[in-house]
Amino acid sequence: MNRLADKNVVITGAASGIGRAAAELMVSEGARVLIADLDEDTAAEVAAEINRGDAPGHAVGAAADVMSETSIAAMIDRAVEEFGGIDVLCNHVGGSNPRKDLDLLRLDLEEWDRVMALNARSTVAASQFALPHMISAGGGSIINTVSVGGLVGDTLQCAYGASKAAVIRLTQYIATQYGRQGIRCNGVAPGAIMTPALRDNLPAEVIADIRHHNALDMIGDPEDIGWAMVYLASDESRYMSGQTLVLDGGLTAQSPIATSRRVLLDT
């Protein structure tokens, strides 16, 4: 409790999935959290639900379209107005349309541009608007949600993987450029996480196959990423910057043939 006492936090895409889990956990640790989401009504409902408990922090819902610089600027202004400043920015919104973001020869170039704007450009813009407030306050923490897709190749979603790789490198640039002004910037790279989006978009047999290929015999929950974000938001991670925490059940730690060789242990 109170690991984030007096911290002012902005989380984009915080009305569901990992973003919501992070918001709930941060409020439980004493933070004041702006739950920013494209759907303002849902953001307000989630904030109200979180505030019904007895957590020491507080949540506020707000509209934010991260494809619009005007909307991003208004989001940051709202946080400053509500809380008096910003200590933590979580650039969490992201994604791509798997029906258009395919292998390179079938990739829709308009989808490429959209995904780069959604995942990478929005991270740049939100960080640009938040950084002056953090610097004037003596420091802050920027947390970028990336993906294991930005670390390894895959058969599909070229745009998604490339955009997340860009954010991983951007994370290091922000950490390098503003570290002497008290700014830390780190990333979290989830593997498969049991969010509503995962359940709604992948058949049960595909989810089971992902679990089969993880080193750990499990699929992560949103809270597994949320707790990592709590750590990066807190002063416990004060000596960590420019890094990406990989939370993927050990998927990317393995040799590609590790899963098939595992059966040898049973013979």
Q: Active-site residue numbers? A: 160
Q: Which long-range contacts (CB under 8 A, 24 or more apart) does 149-153 make?
A: 150/189, 151/189, 151/244, 151/246, 151/252, 152/252
Q: For residue 112, what are its two tokens?
A: 């490429």
CA 255 to chain centre: 26
On whether the CB atoms of residues 65 and 37 are closer than 8 A, the answer is no
Task: Say how far apart CA 144 and CA 126 lie, in whole Å.
Answer: 11
CA–CA dist 244, 99 (Å, integer): 28
Nearest to 219 by CA among 194, 253, 247, 252: 194
The single-letter code of the amino acid at 190 is P
CA dihedral 119, 121, 122, 128 (to 10 degrees): 140
Question: What residue type is assigned to position 11 of the chain?
Answer: I
The whole-angstrom separation of Cα 31 and Cα 3 is 8
How far apart CA 98 and CA 158 sit, in angstroms, is 10
The single-letter DSSP state of residue 181 is G
Q: Take residue 22 and report the two structure tokens written for it.
A: 């992070």
